[in-house]
Amino acid sequence: MPSPRMIRALAVLAFGLVLQACAGKAPPALALMPAPDAFDSGAFDRAADDRPVGDLPDGGILYATGRQKSAGNAPGDFYTTERSLVVHLGEAQVRVSNPTITWRQAREMALLKNQSKDYPILVSGVTEYGLLNRSVTPYVDLGQQAAPPAQATAKFAAEVNRRLARTPQKDVYIYVHGYKVAFDNPVLVAAEMWHFMGYEGVFVAYSWPSTPEATAYVGDVDTAMGMARNLRELVHMLETETAAERIHIIGYSAGTRLVARTLEQMALLNRGQGTGGARYGAKLENVFLISSDIDRSVFGAYLADGALDVSRHLIIYASNQDQALQISERVTGHERLGEALPPDQVPAPFANLLKSRPDRVSYIDVSAAPDISAGNGHGYFRGSPWVSSDLMIRLMYRLPPEVRGLVRDPKTGILSFPTDYDQRMKRALEDLKSGRPSGS
């Protein structure tokens, strides 16, 4: 009989093989996700224009990465999987494999939900500005830099401000990826989300040094935990040195470990700081923890440290059909935050929290949404048009969950998708566009 250690090792390998990743042959590419159902309601019509897909507004996606710079500069070889311990700032250019099509055509293909895979998007080039000055410590040998960190940071902040000036939505969105992907993945996911949101606000792809290998799980989650300081300082720079009015973080899978620990660190640093602008998270609006691969009890400890009071709203998406998290539970021996709680197993303190502080936290069971179990059930925030709709409507319009179509269990405080969610959601968007009070 295999030993417990061997069983666990086999489980780690299985976990790596089950989890989806966009990395593989260079250059990494990503099939454009199915359009959110909200997209065909006209809520994000600004995304439909006749520019070639090779011309993203503003020139590309801004990025911040804790990876080491590669010696090369070819697609698929911009940054390595090694930790740099400091944050590199820059701008990435994104193209579709067929750059002659327009974004309007891309929109139409996405609405068909079955052709976008034929036109994958890829990162075609990067322009690095330099290092985030707040990430530099006395323990890191910087070597020679093209620009002093203060100058590079100022250039990044100025670019954020330039982009904010052209959009009525003064929001910065930070996407933090999961395990087993290369540098390009968060850039591409950020690009497609920005496209579906009509190019409003400014997207920043945060690429922590994960490794696109099936057996890299243990090392990757260690790295994710260690990168919280850098994400914390990136957020604080954006809220103190740019014109952003609101900052949002979209954390996915193992990346939520990084995001959750960032919130805890901010909470601890804020103790005794009052409510002034100097506090960490002063402009942090929504924080999403999606398919969260974090120990549920560890997350509870973060809440005890005040993590819930950092952002204005914390949103947790969970599913009972997430095979990757089920394997992660077997690997670690601990339940994961992103595994949906059965109604009869919701701890009373957690239910009391959800019911007493709906203005601060939403726990959304996505298990009943269409296409939730596609693949291994782990990538539903891109694969389920209902979940992606809910995510983007919250980011764009900041509507409360019941207003945007979700229903709340009065006993547990858990939110879920009703069978007529699409109708509820589209009515809410129609009310929003017409200026009517919701539900009229």
Look at residue 340 and tell me whether its pLDDT is greater than 90: yes
Q: Are 132 and 86 in contact (CB under 8 A)?
A: yes
If DSSP codes are grouped into helix, strand and coil, which group holds residue 105?
helix
Which of 102, 105, 150 lies closest to 129, judged by CA? 150
Which residues, at least 6 apart from 314, have a Cβ–Cβ distance to it below 8 Å? Answer: 263, 286, 287, 289, 307, 308, 360, 361, 362
Q: How confident is the model at residue 384 (pLDDT cuts 50, 70, 90)?
A: very high
Which of 208, 91, 83, 87 lies closest to 149, judged by CA? 87
* Distinct helix (H) and strand (E) counts, the chain: 13, 12
- Residue 370: asked if its preceding bond is cis (omega within 30°), the reply is no
> pLDDT of 133-147, one tens digit each?
999 988 877 776 778
> pLDDT of 169-225, one tens digit each?
999 999 999 988 889 999 999 998 998 888 889 999 999 998 877 677 777 777 777
Can you tell me the distance from the alpha carbon of 394 to that of 41, in angstroms, rounded to the nearest whole number? 15
Q: What is the pLDDT of residue 51?
A: 61
Of the ranges 54-68, 120-134, 276-290, 405-419, which is most confident? Answer: 405-419
Q: Which of 52-66, 166-180, 233-247, 278-292 has the lowest mean pLDDT?
A: 52-66
pTM (2 decimals)? 0.89
Q: What is the pLDDT of residue 211?
A: 81
Residue in the structure block whose two tokens are 């006993």? 411
Q: Which of 89-98, 156-165, 243-252, 283-292 has the lowest mean pLDDT?
A: 89-98
Q: Which of 13-22, 37-46, 51-60, 426-435 has the lowest mean pLDDT?
A: 13-22
CA–CA–CA angle 162, 165, 171 (5° rounding): 100
Structure tokens at 214: 């099936």
Can you tell me the distance from the alpha carbon of 152 to that of 157, in angstroms, rounded to the nearest whole number? 9
Which of 343, 22, 390 lies closest to 181, judged by CA? 22
